[in-house]
Each structure stands twice: as structure tokens, then as C-alpha cells.
Amino acid sequence: MSDPISQVLTGPNDVSEVGSTLGFISFGSILMPTIEGVSVRVEVDENTGDVVAVSFEHDGSVLQVSAFAASKSDQLWEEIYLQLIETITTTGGEVAETVGGFGKQLEAKLVTPSETRDLRFIGFNGPRWFLRGAITGVALTDPAAALNMEDIFRSLVIDRGNSPLPPREPLPLRVPDGTFVPPKSGL
């Protein structure tokens, strides 16, 4: 069962909690309904060729999500939340702990040798899985855009599968079947 804070909201949902995924686009363990105006892309690890995340873009905001295995009793968000704070601050970044539509969230300023980036981390503990989201763009300063990104996050369905996986193991992702239109040049 999902954690108590998140149970008040609907979604993201486990595949066992939805009646049908007909009409959903399947990225393997992450399924999404078709949402008009939302562009989708998969993030691929250049070394392995594995799909590691799915990104959803709408009106100048991006939500990137990754799903991970958890045990029945694990509440990974608390652990990952603290780990993100440590990692970001030890590399020269800044964090502010805030509360949003999914409870605790992190407003972060990531610092790398080549850039400084602002983003918001959100998380959701599901039954035997955890979903992490990173939001960038207009949604960091526009409450309506932030709500829109949270609605996309909330609409996702996770299919963890039955294979035994250690906690924190990324759930398998893939490029969906079907025909895709390449992005317009200049975007």
C-alpha cells in the first residue's frame, strides 16, 4: 500500500490499482495516459544503451521520472531525500526543504563544472516500488505550471512486475512500441 501522506491523493498508481491500462503508453515499468500537448522522450545511458528515465515536457516545464524497486516495508523517499541533500550540498549545491503536492520535496541548485541548474525533487512510495521525479523550467516559479507537472506525475502507473529485485534497483524501462514523430528542428 502507498504511504499515508500520498494515499490522500490519487496516483501515481500501481498497475494493480487501475482497472485498465488500455490507451496508456508503456515505457516498461512506467505507463502514462495519452495527454494532449505533452512531449515525451526517453533518457538513455550512453555507456549501456539502457533507458534510465522518461521525461515529460509541457509549456516550458519538464518532469523527468525514474522508478525503483522497494521491499514491501521500504519507504525509500525518506532515505533518498536525505541522500540527495548530502550529495547536492557536498558538491557545492544548495537545497531548501519544502512541502508540495506529494509532501516533502527538495528545491535544489545543482552545481557542476559546466553549469548551475535549479530543480525540484519529488517522490512517491508505492507498493514495492518508488517513483522519483525531477522538475525543471517554468514550474519552479509558476504555481499553475507546478500543479500541471504534479498532475502528470500523479497520472503515471507503475508496473513493477513480479521479478525479485533488490531495493533501489531501477525498474526496467524501454522505448514504447509504435511509430514516433521526430522532434521539430530547433526545439
pLDDT in tens, 63-101: 999 999 998 887 899 999 999 999 999 999 999 999 999
The amino acid that residue 138 corresponds to is V
| pLDDT, average across residues 158-185 | 79
CATH number 3.40.1000 given to 4-158: yes
Higher per-residue pLDDT: 116 or 73? 116
Average pLDDT over all residues of the chain: 88
Handedness of CA 115, 112, 122, 54 (dihedral sign): positive
Q: Which residues pair with 98 in a beta bridge?
A: 105
Which residues, at least 6 apart from 34, have a Cβ–Cβ distance to it below 8 Å? Answer: 23, 24, 25
Higher per-residue pLDDT: 29 or 181? 29
| pLDDT, average across residues 152-169 | 93
> Is it the case that residue 153 has pLDDT exceeding 90?
yes
- Per-residue pLDDT tens for 14-59? 999 998 888 899 999 999 998 889 999 999 999 998 999 999 999 9
Rounded to 5, what percent of the chain is helix, strand, coil? 20, 40, 40
Measured in degrees and rounded to the nearest 5, phi and psi for residue 28 equal 95, -105
pLDDT value for 179: 52
Question: Is-cis flag, bond preceding 167, omega within 30?
Answer: no
Higher per-residue pLDDT: 178 or 34? 34
Where b means 16+ CB within 10 Å and e means fewer, 129-139 reads bbbbbbbbbbb
Domain locations along the chain: 4-158
